Amino acid sequence: MRKPKRVQIIAYVNPATHNRITTHAERTGMSVSRVVERVLESGSYPDNSIDRAVLQLLDINADQARLGNLLLKGINETANGQIVHQMRQLLDEIRLTQTHLKTRVLELKP
């Protein structure tokens, strides 16, 4: 599928405005063109910090899932009842943390 054609616009702004736009573009990892487009579309500077936070929370959730799987494997391979009980408690705490993470992600997403 072809991308829609883009048209170049030449605009003159004062140095302070130019500095704000380029600084924001560098900070957010966007192109200057995309920043200007988003400002015009939304009326404010785009903020992708929420997107970064969501991705970090999802990474933590994935780490928690891997840890939980290792604990399950340990539970299945361990004969000591005391250790199994402690591992099950850890597994329950991991699952609770994952639930909290998923709730936070849903709160962050618009």
pLDDT at 44: 65
Whether 62 contacts 102, CB under 8 Å? no
Residue 7 has pLDDT above 80, yes or no: yes
Give the tens place of pLDDT for each residue, 14-68: 998 899 889 888 888 888 988 888 888 877 665 677 777 888 888 898 999 999 8
Mean pLDDT of 104-109: 80
Domain boundaries, the chain: 1-47, 49-108
Element of type H or E holding 76: helix 49-77
Average pLDDT, the chain: 84
Best CA proximity match to 17, nearest among 41, 36, 43: 36
**pTM attached to this predicted model:** 0.49
pLDDT at 15: 92
Residue 99 has pLDDT above 70, yes or no: yes
* 3-class DSSP state of 84: helix
